[in-house]
Amino acid sequence: MNLKKISSAYNLFNKAINLLKEDLGSSYMDALVETGDNLLEKGKIMVEDGKPTEKSIKELKLVYAEFLTISLSSEEMRQVIQFALVNAGKVDKIQPNHQMTPDSIGLLIAYLLERILGSREEIKILDIAVGTGNLLSTLANHLKQSKIKKIELFGVDNDDTMLAVAGMSFKMQQIETQLYHQDAIDNLITPKVDIVLSDLPIGYYPIDERVVNFETKSKKGHSFVHHLLIEQSMLQLLPGGWGMFLVPKKLFESVEAKSLLEVIQKQAHFQGILNLPADLFATQDSAKSLLLLQKRGNGAKQANPVLLGGFPAIKDREEFTKFLQQVDSWINKNK
């Protein structure tokens, strides 16, 4: 990966976004999507109601032309878009549930998934709350280097802006993905898959009448959306398939956790939960864990022991390497 090339491309990408943002009077995120769409059209600029102005168009054409001379790999392009998304979070003050999953977490999930999949040559993966697509594209770029020959990717989100970002991002990275604009709590129209993964949104689901058939619904008041999505994911998995979810570190400490555990025990094998490195999160309350579930059937069996523990700080390379070796040993023992 060429960091100098990524930096040059990002500076041009950011310059074009800011030019559009100022001229259109839009959010940074909307200008980001339009910039990506323009670049996908080889620098052709969409004009609506006289915007952007002729002056801005001239400037944008120069920036686009220079950007398009830079040859970026899929992963390098993802990095450019990621830096822009980080900036969007600051400029637009994006709510936590809409902020992208950090690279380091995506790579940890990719590492685990590659080892769990072993010799599999075909795989279908669904992100049930795909957001900007950073987690799914991190995974896709990593798995391209593995022995897997055919990867089918699916993403669902009910936020049209986030889905527009994801769609633009995947196209710029030349990653084929099927995206669905729908509420993931409704009946999903995606196919059954081998892997459901997601950095789950945290909070309450506001429409109580839509969740009456969910076993994880709250007996009183709104239900936790992350509980509902875990239950929904189990229904979307093929027998023996895996669910890999980023969840609150205190997931099982609430009163509502009992019904979630009952659903997990009925539908899946609870294979593990790993606390993610504390240094990845701003506060202890925002800390997350990686929950590993395997749907019953197709030869799936309960791991012995369940994978428990926590990743050391990523900067502590020696301890981190030791921990990954322990995870490898657990995977080999439970194949």
Predicted TM-score (pTM) of this structure? 0.91
Give the pLDDT confidence score for residue 282 in this predicted structure.
72
Which residues is 126 bridged to in the sheet?
A: 154, 196
CA dihedral 227, 309, 107, 330 (to 10 degrees): -110
Q: What is the mean pLDDT of residues 96-116?
A: 75
pLDDT of the residue at 181: 96
Which helix (DSSP H) or strand (DSSP E) does residue 308 occupy? Answer: strand 307-310
CA distance 291 to 71: 38
pLDDT for 163 beyond 80 = yes
C-beta of residue 259 within 8 angstroms of C-beta of residue 294: no
Whose tokens are 């689901």? That residue is: 205
CA dihedral 178, 109, 131, 239 (to 10 degrees): 50
Res 208 pLDDT > 60: yes
pLDDT higher than 70, residue 98? no
Is residue 281's pLDDT more than 80?
no
Over range 96-115, report the average pLDDT: 75
Mean pLDDT within 152-156: 97
Query: Which residue has 């930096």 as its token pair?
Result: 7
Residue 102 pLDDT level (bands cut at 50, 70, 90): low
Find where tokens 């993966």 sit: 125
Does pLDDT of 1 surpass 70?
A: no
Separation of alpha carbons 9 and 38, rounded Å: 15
Which pLDDT tens digit goes with each residue over 297-320?
A: 999 999 999 999 888 877 788 888
State the average pLDDT over residues 1-25. Answer: 92
pLDDT band at 129 (very low <50, low <70, confident <90, very high): very high
Has residue 70 got a pLDDT over 90?
yes
- What mean pLDDT do residues 196-212 have? 93
Looking at residue 95, its pLDDT comes to 63
Alpha carbon dihedral 200, 201, 203, 209, in 10-degree steps, equals: -90
For residue 204, pLDDT beyond 90: yes
- For 155-174, give the DSSP string: EEES-HHHHHHHHHHHHHTT
Question: Across all residues in the chain, what is the average pLDDT?
Answer: 90
Q: What is the pLDDT of residue 115?
A: 86
What's the confidence (pLDDT) of residue 99?
57
Angle (deg, nearest 10), helices 28-40 and 54-68: 60
